[in-house]
């Protein structure tokens, strides 16, 4: 029986074997010790036809529940325009490798250059790399980068208001890499800037990692922080949501040195957690310490404008054990996704996304407060699309009622605190539906 | 392929838009945020209509070469066919629309895929448990080394901070070790290209955490003494790490677990057919032997204790969390589709067919290219440049590996991996994979032979290649000395 992905006929195999001088394919493994050759059966099913595959995976997809998403927590349900899937499924992009051969990779190199330009513009930094795996790993890399920039200092401060998975991943990397992390607990729902200032006075801090928008959805006010950090000869690293940066003050305007974060918010599907899109941007004086791929502009032998991977002396395949990062790829196709998204949106579309998310989130917040079933977790704190409240009913009961009615929201984000997230995808009737489900289930009791 | 010289920013005109979003009818607007929290300067995004965006990116794609375009014999990268059904299944809304923090009872199908794929990988590798959380091969290496260190730390054996890496290893091996806080000790290769046992043995003391190996190694050669290496490293208290970059050679035939490896990673974007995407997203699952199966990173996906339900849980004994959520799920779906399409019988042919193709190409070219180690190879092999004697050329003509690679582009093939491994000065590393037909391999062989002849008769043709590509050789020195890393108006 043939198989669709193997072009070999018996005749082909015979001719090829003849050229090599073997009589059976087993001889190709003559250099492998006999007792290491696997002779058993694999514990995997018999091969399936394409129709069987569709049926089986359709059934498995059916064992998931599609929900109306009112949750964030580091993954937001933003809209993905139809153009994007059409472009990123083009096989010239999808089935190519890392653009080592620049002459036949100008497509990839050009969109990465565009991506770098857009990310630098959004964050207010001088340059960006070609992307990282996801937000939390980009934060870990940014923390290692700050330590590499300072050479001697090996301590980094982490604001306790960062998303829990960001804190966890940074701590894992730091522990093995030999960086000491000190978490500075939040105060009143935001980073404790005075406490960070006190920690900096020891003079042993290489970097300070704070969120632009924190785990409670609060837009943090970083006034004066960059000055304090720079006085202590440390670097300010901000963890950012790039989607928000068309309306809220960008890390460059706060005086940040390095920016990292999760760019899944640029219309990338939720996908049960991946693939997503991490990124790192920085001021130009630190670019040679930046991890990952970087694309630069140059000219070819005829003087034509073209693009190449550049500054590779930083990278693992050159520096080997002297490298400060081991990353040797990026999330290129996801970077293309974000680049096409931002090309379509432009300044005005991204602003509209934020207006719709802001409007919906503030409407939901007001309606929930009206029910009398919630208290503000941090009254008066400004938020964009995600906010935290204290429910007067047990959290588990609230979640169950929402789930039963097809909603996913009320994500636990602290002791007795839950968060809701509203994007441009949520309509007024969906929001009203969510509120009435809560109202009907808990008010009459 | 043809040259197209625009950047999206250069298509931008004030007043154009490429988006279609609802009107804003909300009363509350971000304008009411405190002034100090609002953005002042423009992010500088382009303003382009939808048709212009589409045409721009289609034009860019036309300057790219993919596996669907033609033969891509890139050594160590396993550029096999990326099945279309994989893509279709991964985009089903029942998978693509799931939030990573949804309660377990609403994502049982997704967890079934996670555990089902992990089970297949265990069977194919002889490992006892897999985490599918790592995002790429290098991320898998780092995760695996964290597990290695965690193993020694959990036994109170704190002095094991050295890891042995062969001089032929991928650059990521020593880099991953360094990021993980381990000191790298290099072990030399013999003239036959295999690990030198005499060099290895004195390195095995009580400070060794383990050894990282690629088998077959980066020369495409099987490390015959693997059992002896395994027992020596184990006797010294170290663990064996298997870099799965070259697993395609062995798939269906030899399992790392049976060779004595304790920890390994796989590259789903190499061995298991998921597309490389121009550099990612990939996936680098990490497998572990039974005695360290409890040391996987958080979160772990498993069957709950008292029910048939799957659950996602923290693992306090592992190294911690290495990813925001549970890996590149969209990539995992594609690899699972591939394995189920192959099935238990066809999977046994993947390794042998890939090894057959590599040896066929090697035997067909070794009279014109220098073959430093003339023996059976696995899925790939390395030439050390043109064979000046047999190709009828001399050193003065001076055609290098770079010239050969660039000339191949003119013939419509992607270039092999070049100048790696570092053991030779003119390395050309060729990996054909099992999905290429004999006709394709023959056409490649003919092109390589033609290029060798050109090197003798028209060396300038090679040195000035490529000639038929959208751009010619880029000035890399200019790019590095005067870095232009983003577009600015008037640039």
Whether residue B95 lies within 8 A of chain A, CB to CB, comes out as: yes
Q: Which B positions 186-215 lie with beta carbon below 8 A of chain A?
A: none
Contact A272 B137 (CB under 8 A): no
Contact B39 A399 (CB under 8 A): no
Domain A68-78+345-442: give its CATH code.
Answer: 3.90.1150.10
A258 SS3 class: strand
Q: Average pLDDT over chain B, rounded to whole? A: 95
When scoring B126, B281, B312 by the number of chain A Cβ atoms within 10 A, the one with the most, hence best to mutate, is B281
Q: Which residues of B touch A168 (CB under 8 A)?
A: 298, 320-321
Q: Which residues of B touch A12 (CB under 8 A)?
A: 437-438
Contact A20 B41 (CB under 8 A): no
Tens digits of residue pLDDT in B311-322 = 999 999 999 999
Q: Average pLDDT over chain A, rounded to whole? A: 96
Q: Which residues of A touch B427 (CB under 8 A)?
A: none
Task: For residue B433, give the chain A residue with the closest CA.
Answer: A6
Whether residue B396 lies within 8 A of chain A, CB to CB, comes out as: no
Contact A272 B475 (CB under 8 A): no
Backbone angles phi, psi at B171, to 5 degrees: -60, -25
Task: For residue A295, give the chain B residue with the closest CA.
Answer: B485
A82-340, what's its fold?
3.40.640
Peptide bond into A396 cis (omega under 30): no
Q: Which residues of B touch A289 (CB under 8 A)?
A: none
Distance CA A73, CA B160 (A): 38
Q: Where are the domains of chain A?
A: 68-78+345-442, 82-340
What DSSP string describes A165-225? HHHHHHHHHHHHHT-EEEEE--BTTB--HHHHHHHHTTS-EEEEEEESB-TTSBB---TTH
Distance CA B486, CA A127 (A): 7
The minimum CA-CA distance between A169 and chain B, rounded to whole Å, is 5
Considering only CB atoms, A346 lies closest to which of B18, B94, B280, namely B18
Contact A47 B327 (CB under 8 A): no
Give, for B108, the enclosing helix (H) or strand (E).
helix B108-125
Tens digits of residue pLDDT in A102-129 = 999 999 999 999 999 999 999 999 999 9
Q: How far is CA B117 from CA A294, B266, B326, in A?
A: 33, 12, 13
Contact A38 B254 (CB under 8 A): yes
When scoring A58, A65, A96 by the number of chain B Cβ atoms within 10 A, the one with the most, hence best to mutate, is A96
CA B199-B202-B205 angle, 5° bins: 135
Contact B472 A103 (CB under 8 A): yes
pLDDT (0 to 100) of residue B147: 98
Tens digits of residue pLDDT in B222-275 = 999 999 999 999 999 999 999 999 999 999 999 999 999 999 999 999 999 999
Distance CA B356, CA A258 (A): 49
pLDDT, average across residues B210-216: 97
Complex ipTM, two decimals? 0.97
Whether residue B142 lies within 8 A of chain A, CB to CB, comes out as: yes
pLDDT band, residue B140 (cuts 50/70/90): very high
Q: How many CA atoms lie within 13 A of B66 on its CB side?
A: 24
The minimum CA-CA distance between A439 and chain B, rounded to whole Å, is 22
The minimum CA-CA distance between B129 and chain A, rounded to whole Å, is 14
pLDDT band, residue B306 (cuts 50/70/90): confident
| Domain annotation for chain B: domains and CATH numbers | 82-469 (3.40.640.10)
Q: Which B positions 57-76 lie with beta carbon below 8 A of chain A?
A: 57-58, 60-69, 72, 74
Task: For residue B252, give the chain A residue with the closest CA.
Answer: A38
Percent above pLDDT 70 for chain A: 99
Contact A307 B474 (CB under 8 A): yes
Statement: residue B391 has pLDDT above 70: no
Statement: residue B455 has pLDDT above 80: yes
Whether residue B10 lies within 8 A of chain A, CB to CB, comes out as: no
Statement: residue B395 has pLDDT above 60: no
Backbone angles phi, psi at B415, to 5 degrees: -75, 155
Q: How far is CA A102 from CA A244, B69, B426, B482, in A?
A: 34, 16, 19, 18
Contact A298 B227 (CB under 8 A): no
Contact A108 B141 (CB under 8 A): no
The minimum CA-CA distance between A198 and chain B, rounded to whole Å, is 24
The minimum CA-CA distance between A292 and chain B, rounded to whole Å, is 11
Report helix angle A332-370 to B50-61, nearest 10: 150
Tens digits of residue pLDDT in B460-489 = 999 999 999 999 999 999 999 999 999 998
pLDDT band, residue B396 (cuts 50/70/90): very low
The minimum CA-CA distance between B338 and chain A, rounded to whole Å, is 10
Percent above pLDDT 90 for chain A: 94
Whether residue B158 lies within 8 A of chain A, CB to CB, comes out as: no
Percent above pLDDT 70 for chain B: 98
The minimum CA-CA distance between A414 and chain B, rounded to whole Å, is 15
Residues B65 and A365: beta-carbon distance below 8 Å? no
Considering only CB atoms, B87 lies closest to which of A71, A89, A262, namely A89
pLDDT (0 to 100) of residue B397: 65
Residues 6+ apart with CB under 8 A from A436: none
The minimum CA-CA distance between B312 and chain A, rounded to whole Å, is 12
pLDDT, average across residues A321-346: 92
Report helix angle B329-365 to A10-20, nearest 10: 50
pLDDT, average across residues A411-429: 96
Residues B226 and B178: beta-carbon distance below 8 Å? no
pLDDT (0 to 100) of residue B389: 66
pLDDT band, residue B446 (cuts 50/70/90): very high
Statement: residue B392 has pLDDT above 70: no
pLDDT, average across residues A145-163: 95
Considering only CB atoms, A97 lies closest to which of B9, B30, B72, namely B72
Q: Which of A54, A85, A343 is nearest to B96 (CA)?
A: A85
Residues A258 and A281: beta-carbon distance below 8 Å? yes
Statement: residue B394 has pLDDT above 60: no
Task: For residue A126, give the chain B residue with the closest CA.
Answer: B486
Contact A358 B325 (CB under 8 A): no
Distance CA B184, CA B165 (A): 7
Residues A207 and A289: beta-carbon distance below 8 Å? no
Statement: residue A41 has pLDDT above 90: yes
pLDDT (0 to 100) of residue B305: 87
Statement: residue A320 has pLDDT above 70: yes
Q: Which of B326, B151, B166, B322 is nearest to B234 (CA)?
A: B151
pLDDT (0 to 100) of residue B428: 97
Tens digits of residue pLDDT in A230-266 = 999 999 999 999 999 999 999 999 999 999 999 999 9
């Amino acid at each position: 029986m043939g198989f669709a992905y193997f072009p070999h006929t018996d005749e082909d195999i015979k001719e090829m074997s003849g050229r090599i001088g073997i009589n059976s394919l087993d001889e190709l493994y003559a250099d492998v010790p006999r007792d290491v050759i696997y002779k058993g059966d694999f514990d995997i099913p018999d091969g399936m036809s394409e129709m069987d595959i569709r049926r089986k995976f359709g059934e498995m997809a059916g064992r998931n529940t599609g929900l109306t998403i009112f949750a964030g927590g580091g993954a937001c349900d933003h809209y993905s325009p139809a153009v994007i899937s059409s472009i990123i499924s083009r096989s010239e992009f999808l089935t190519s490798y890392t653009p080592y051969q620049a002459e036949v990779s100008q497509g990839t190199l050009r969109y990465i250059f565009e991506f770098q330009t857009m990310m630098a513009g959004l964050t207010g930094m001088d340059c960006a790399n070609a992307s990282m795996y996801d937000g939390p790993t980009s934060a870990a890399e940014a923390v290692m980068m700050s330590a590499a920039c300072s050479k001697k200092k090996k301590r980094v401060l982490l604001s306790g208001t960062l998303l829990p998975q960001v804190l966890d991943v940074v701590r894992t990397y730091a522990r093995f890499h030999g960086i000491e992390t000190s978490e500075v607990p939040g105060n009143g729902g935001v980073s404790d800037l005075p406490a960070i200032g006190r920690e900096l006075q020891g003079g042993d801090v290489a970097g300070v990692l704070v969120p632009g928008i924190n785990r409670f959805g609060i837009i943090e006010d970083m006034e004066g922080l960059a000055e304090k950090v720079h006085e202590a000869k440390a670097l300010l690293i901000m963890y950012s949501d790039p989607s928000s940066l068309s309306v809220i003050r960008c890390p460059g305007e706060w005086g940040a040195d390095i920016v990292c974060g999760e760019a899944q918010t640029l219309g990338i599907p939720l996908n049960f957690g991946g693939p997503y899109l991490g990124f790192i941007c920085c001021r130009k004086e630190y670019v040679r310490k930046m991890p990952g791929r970087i694309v630069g502009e140059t000219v070819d032998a005829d003087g034509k404008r073209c693009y190449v991977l550049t500054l590779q002396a930083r990278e693992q395949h050159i520096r080997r054990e002297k490298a400060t990062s081991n990353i040797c790829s990026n999330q290129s196709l996801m970077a293309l996704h974000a680049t096409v998204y931002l090309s379509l949106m432009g300044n005005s579309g991204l602003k509209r996304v934020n207006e719709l998310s802001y409007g919906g989130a503030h409407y939901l917040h007001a309606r929930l407060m009206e029910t009398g079933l919630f208290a503000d977790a941090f009254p008066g704190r400004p938020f964009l699309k995600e906010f935290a409240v204290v429910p007067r009913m047990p959290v588990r009961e609230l979640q169950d009622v929402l789930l039963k009615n097809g909603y996913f929201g009320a994500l636990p984000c602290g002791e007795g605190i839950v968060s809701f997230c509203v994007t441009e995808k949520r309509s007024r009737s969906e929001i009203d539906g969510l509120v009435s489900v809560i109202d009907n289930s808990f008010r009459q009791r | 392929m043809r040259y197209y010289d625009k950047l999206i920013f250069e298509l931008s005109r004030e007043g154009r838009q490429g988006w279609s979003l609802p009107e804003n009818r909300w009363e509350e607007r971000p304008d009411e945020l405190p002034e100090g929290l609002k953005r002042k300067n423009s992010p500088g995004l382009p303003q382009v209509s939808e048709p212009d965006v589409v045409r721009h990116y289609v034009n860019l794609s036309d300057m790219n070469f993919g596996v669907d375009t033609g033969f891509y014999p890139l050594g160590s990268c396993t550029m096999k066919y990326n099945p279309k059904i994989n893509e279709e299944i991964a985009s089903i809304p029942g998978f693509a629309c799931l939030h990573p923090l949804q309660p377990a009872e609403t994502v049982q199908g997704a967890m079934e895929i996670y555990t089902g794929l992990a089970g297949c990988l265990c069977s194919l590798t002889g490992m006892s448990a897999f985490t599918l959380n790592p995002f790429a091969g290098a991320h898998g290496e780092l995760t695996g080394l964290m597990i290695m260190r965690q193993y020694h730390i959990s036994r109170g054996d704190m002095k094991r901070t050295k890891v042995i890496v062969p001089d032929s290893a991928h650059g990521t091996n020593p880099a991953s070790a360094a990021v993980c806080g381990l000191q790298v000790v290099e072990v030399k290769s013999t003239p036959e290209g295999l690990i030198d046992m005499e060099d290895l043995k004195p390195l095995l003391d009580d400070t060794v955490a383990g050894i990282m190996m690629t088998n077959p190694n980066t020369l495409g050669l099987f490390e015959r003494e693997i059992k002896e290496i395994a027992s020596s490293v184990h006797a010294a208290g170290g663990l064996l790490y298997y870099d799965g970059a070259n697993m395609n050679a062995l798939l269906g035939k030899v399992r790392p677990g049976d060779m004595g490896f304790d920890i390994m990673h796989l590259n789903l974007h190499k061995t298991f057919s998921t597309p490389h995407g121009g550099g990612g997203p990939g996936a680098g699952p990490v497998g572990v032997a039974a005695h360290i199966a409890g040391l996987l990173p958080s979160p772990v996906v498993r069957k709950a204790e008292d029910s048939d339900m799957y659950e996602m849980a923290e693992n306090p004994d592992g190294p911690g969390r290495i990813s925001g959520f549970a890996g590149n799920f969209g990539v995992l779906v594609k690899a699972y589709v591939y394995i189920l399409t192959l099935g238990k019988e066809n999977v046994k042919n993947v390794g042998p067919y890939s090894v057959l193709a590599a040896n066929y190409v090697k035997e067909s070219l070794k009279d014109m290219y220098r073959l430093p180690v003339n023996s059976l190879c696995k899925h790939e092999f390395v030439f050390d440049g043109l064979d000046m004697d047999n190709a009828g050329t001399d050193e003065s003509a001076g055609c290098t590996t770079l010239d050969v690679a660039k000339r191949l582009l003119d013939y419509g093939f992607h270039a092999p991996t070049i100048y790696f491994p570092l053991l030779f000065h003119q390395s050309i590393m060729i990996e054909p994979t099992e999905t290429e037909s004999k006709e394709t391999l023959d056409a490649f062989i003919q092109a390589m032979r033609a290029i060798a002849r050109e090197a003798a008769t028209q060396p300038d043709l090679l040195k000035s290649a490529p000639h038929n590509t959208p751009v010619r050789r880029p000035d890399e020195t200019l790019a590095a000395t005067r870095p232009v890393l983003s577009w600015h108006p008037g640039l």
